[in-house]
Amino acid sequence: MTQPHFLTTPQSRRIAYHQTEGQGPGIVFLGGFRSDMTGTKALFLQDWAAQQGRAFLRFDYSGHGQSSGDFLDGAIGDWFEDALAAITQLTAGPQILVGSSMGGWVSLLVAKEIPQRVAGLVGIAAAPDFTEDSMWEGFSDAQRDDLIQKGQVELPSDYSDDPYIITRRLIDEGRGRLVLRAPLDLPFPVRLLQGTLDTDVPPRVALRLLDHADSPDIRLTLIKGADHRFSSPECLATIAQAVVELLGQRAG
């Protein structure tokens, strides 16, 4: 397997990435919480972009995959800074951001910061504000006490035998990054993709984002029977089609 390149961010974090050259607008994949850039969707998009002669970038946030840092030290703002550094330092011109789960939230933060560098956005089970609306709101009183007193709480994982460890910093820092509590202007086309059987980020989250965001062209596609992984052949084809639509908008 090809070894990654590394970028040192302004915050001195060492970010691993893979990049392929091609025409613009380029495509940037932003992964999910505790995920990395070797997942099915990232590799599918890289291969698809190469077939199209399209520039492509995938990377690991700090504390994820092959990047530096401890996952438990990280928070939404850190991973937003990582994404911002990768996009501004490694790409040129407008990009199509494809954000999966937490990557959807990070994409929205990037879009707010540098809207002139965003040609379009694809959210795959996008999870804006999940630290507050899913985690904190879903905690029991005992879990909230653990978080406040011990600085962390353990949650069961559907994807690993190891529990999710949620830190107080993740929750507290996330409150300064919420995007659904104030106007959200997205001056470019947006495609939201969502599985109806997603229990991690249920369809109501996509509907809330659809209703809240202000975009000249925002559409939600529901795939019946798809879960949070959104990695079946049908789902992958839907992702590619969403990117094609946004590229067509750009060309038009």
- pLDDT computed for residue 167 by the predictor: 96
Tokens 């504390």 correspond to 63
Q: How confident is the model at residue 1 (pLDDT cuts 50, 70, 90)?
A: low
Tens-digit pLDDT profile for residues 85-118: 999 999 999 999 999 999 999 999 999 999 999 9
Residue 169's contacts (CB-CB under 8 Å, 6 or more residues apart) are 73, 75, 151
Which residues carry out catalysis? 101, 198, 228
pLDDT (0 to 100) of residue 158 = 72
Contacts of 111 (CB under 8 A, 6+ apart): 97, 118, 121, 186, 188
Written out in words, the top-level CATH class of the domain with range 5-130+185-251 is alpha beta
The pTM of this model reads: 0.95
List pLDDT tens digits, range 14-27: 999 999 999 989 99
The yes-or-no verdict on residue 250 having pLDDT over 70 is no
C-alpha to C-alpha distance for 221 and 238, rounded to whole angstroms: 9
Tokens of 240: 């590619």
Residues 158-175 have pLDDT tens digits of: 767 788 899 999 999 999
